[in-house]
């Protein structure tokens, strides 16, 4: 689990917006979208509109962020 994620009821939620990288509390996110077995977080309607235009781009950037966190040994990376 990545340090920027939180597990709620056995579902893994990101704690950062997949578009802008802003830290987001679970309760204050504009949207949670299921991607595989995980839920990505979007902080606001503007980021949601941007995400919908090119979701693959933002999912790829998210994968890079998670891999980088693992590589530098951040606690709970994965």
- pLDDT, tens digit (0-9, with 9 covering 90-100), for 15-59: 899 999 999 988 889 998 988 878 899 999 999 999 999 999 999
> Could you give the CA distance from residue 4 to residue 54 in angstroms, rounded to a whole number?
22
Confidence of residue 9 (pLDDT cuts 50, 70, 90): low
Q: C-alpha 73: how far from its chain's center?
A: 18
Query: Which residue in the block uniquely carries the two structure tokens 């990505």?
Result: 40
Say what the pLDDT of residue 56 is.
94
Say what the pLDDT of residue 1 is.
61
β-pairing, 38-42 vs 11-17, is: parallel
Cβ distance 17 to 41 under 8 Å?
yes
What distances in angstroms separate CA 19 from CA 46, 73, 75, one per listed residue?
Answer: 10, 23, 23
What is this structure's pTM? 0.75
């Amino acid at each position: 689990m990545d340090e920027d994620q939180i597990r709620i009821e056995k579902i893994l939620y990101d704690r950062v917006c997949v578009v802008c990288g802003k830290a987001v509390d679970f309760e204050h996110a504009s949207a949670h979208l299921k991607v595989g077995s995980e839920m990505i977080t979007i902080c606001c309607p503007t980021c949601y509109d941007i995400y919908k235009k090119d979701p693959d781009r933002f999912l790829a950037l998210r994968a890079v962020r998670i891999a980088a966190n693992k590589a530098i040994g951040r606690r709970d990376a994965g």
